[in-house]
Structure 1
Amino acid sequence: MSEPILRLEGVETRIGPYHILHGVSFDVPAGELTLLLGRNGAGKTTTLRTIMGLWRASAGRVLFDGRDITALPTPDIARAGLAYVPESMAVFSDLTVRENMVLAARSGPLDSARLDWIFGLFPALRRFWQSRAGVLSGGQKQMLAIARGLAEPRRLLLVDEPTKGLAPAMVRNMVEAFRQVKAAGETILLVEQNFHAASALGDDVAVMDNGTVVHSGPMRALAADAALQQSLLGLSLDQHQ
């Protein structure tokens, strides 16, 4: 296993009167795709938002490449090399696809070679390059949201439920796109509810329940163990063919 680029150590997060994360600990190895799985309400999105500093950890540490980023402001965390694609997609509907991508390239002009690579992942973005993002379908908006995260090289990409609500054909396209992103050496922490997509993509997995990590290990081991899937997630792969 590669050295972790991200490590969470006993992270706790409170939002108002609610104690959401209860000592979350796991590693994200560099150059791999790590999955964060769990039932609805387990704390997965809160974990991503805490990593990005959008919600502040009340205890524990978030280490990025050995550096403690727990208390850093979100812009500084982004500048350190993290990109976050929220479940809401957060594209600018009144701006064109091109304008969305230009805004995402914070360090300077869009690199043409990298843009060609992104178009290879998501060909629809080339077709709609000068169109307002608001006219895109839900799946195309999701493609744009992920493309924004890839607009310039990042050391870690956090993605929250990229296949949620997508038609099966679009899910297959998304899985293939993430395969190519993995092959390019990108490091990804992915929250995903589609277990088939998760099992096709994941190198490592951390399973959350009630605000803590209850299982971690290779994704292939979880994918091969229907009883463990049932115990941890309330499902088995065989039930979701």
Structure 2
Amino acid sequence: MPEPARNDAAGMLLTLAGVHTHIGEYHILQGVDLQVPRSGLTVLLGRNGAGKSTTLRTIMGLWHASAGRIVFDGQDITAAETPAISRSGIAFVPEDMGIFSGLTVQENLRLAAIGGAFDEERLEWIFGLFPALKRFWLRPGGTLSGGQKQMVAIARAIIEPRKLLLIDEPTKGLAPAIVDNLAEAFEQLKARDTTILLVEQNFNFVRSLGDHVAVMDDGRMVHSGSMEQLSEDEGLQARLLGLHAGAVH
């Protein structure tokens, strides 16, 4: 890993300062500033194409920043490679979930366990979060429903303790009962001192779950603050998100 770097933002687990990301000829992130406090859930909102997923992938080192700085837990990870970033304590659940269709649920999780061995107590806790995983333990990932695949993806990310989870659009296309299950899982993760950075389009899902919020547009941050403030200010919602009173998104 790169040498330690001072994180001047007190209480921040992750800080992005002036981050630019180019993908080919496209300039996607255009000076992103983002702070993620420790031990809470920060929601990253914005319209499709605003740069939210690119922000997560840049943090994870899947795409490298062309300018700016990313500091995680006191370490400058701007130029670090993805395996080193993962070892530092960050896990990523992509929008497409990224599970291995030909492997069983057990095998998918075993790949993420240190040395391929499970911490049995932690595994039982995960089964408590997602009981379906125990029922489908030996079933290939490709045969699962969308909601079940999402459970596998999140379980794989937390099979080992992580300081930070990056989760991209976890509720997309899921039934309400599965969404409620995910909300409970996130609450339990927060209670275990896991910090979460969540990209999500469903504002009703995150308004009671999130502690902090940042809003992106055209590759830049246009707002940051508490979720409580945004939830209570319909005018701010309309200006930033195009929501109106009584809207369901």
- 2:122 is the alignment partner of 1:114: yes
Tell whether the 8 Å contact from 1:195 to 1:237 is kept in structure 2 after alignment. no
Which of the numbers 228, 231, 235 marks the counterpart of 1:223? Answer: 231
Q: 1:106, CA displacement in angstroms?
A: 3.3
Q: Give 1:236 deviation, angstroms.
A: 3.4
Worse overlay, 49-58 or 102-111: 102-111
Counterpart-to-counterpart distance in 2, 1:77 and 1:39? 28
The residue type paired with residue 89 of structure 2 is G
User: When the two structures are aligned, how many residues end up with a matched partner?
Assistant: 241
**Structure 1 ranges of 4+ moved more than 4 A:** none
| Cross-structure match for 1:13 | 21
Gaps of 5+ in 2: 1-8
Distance in 2 (CA, whole Å) between partners of 1:78 and 1:146 is 15
TM-score of the aligned structures, taking structure 1 as reference length: 0.97
Q: Aligned in 2, Cα 1:133/1:183: closer, same or farther, shift over 3 Å?
A: same
**Partner SS state of residue 238, structure 1:** coil
For residues 33-71 of structure 1, give each alpha carbon's deviation from its aligned partner in whole angstroms, at most 9, with x where no partner exists: 111111111100000000011011010000001211000
Counterpart position of 1:150? 158
How far residue 240 of structure 1 moved from its aligned partner, in angstroms, is 1.1
Mapped to 1, the partners of 2:226 and 2:109 lie a distance apart of 34
- Give, in whole Å, the separation in 1 of the partners of 2:178 and 2:10: 31
1:166 aligns with 2:174: yes
In structure 2, the residue matched to 1:25 is: 33
The letter for the 2-side match of 1:134 is G
Contact preservation (8 Å) 1:12, 1:57: yes
Opposite residue 27 of structure 1, the aligned amino acid is Q
8 Å contact from structure 1 (residues 229, 237) kept in 2: no
**Counterparts of residues 26-175 of structure 1 (less than 5 Å):** 26-175=34-183
2:150 partner letter: Q
TM-score calculated relative to the size of structure 2: 0.94
Cα distance, 1:237 vs structure 2: 5.8
Q: Are the aligned partners of 1:226 and 1:238 in contact in 2 as well (CA < 8 Å)?
A: no
Counterpart of 1:238?
246
Which whole-Å CA distance do the structure 1 matches of 2:145 and 2:122 have between them? 24
Given that 1:156 and 1:186 are in contact with CA atoms closer than 8 Å, whether structure 2 keeps it comes out as yes
RMSD (CA atoms): 1.4
Distance 1:89 1:237, change over 3 A: farther
Alpha-carbon distance between aligned partners in 1 of 2:132 and 2:45, rounded to the nearest angstrom: 29
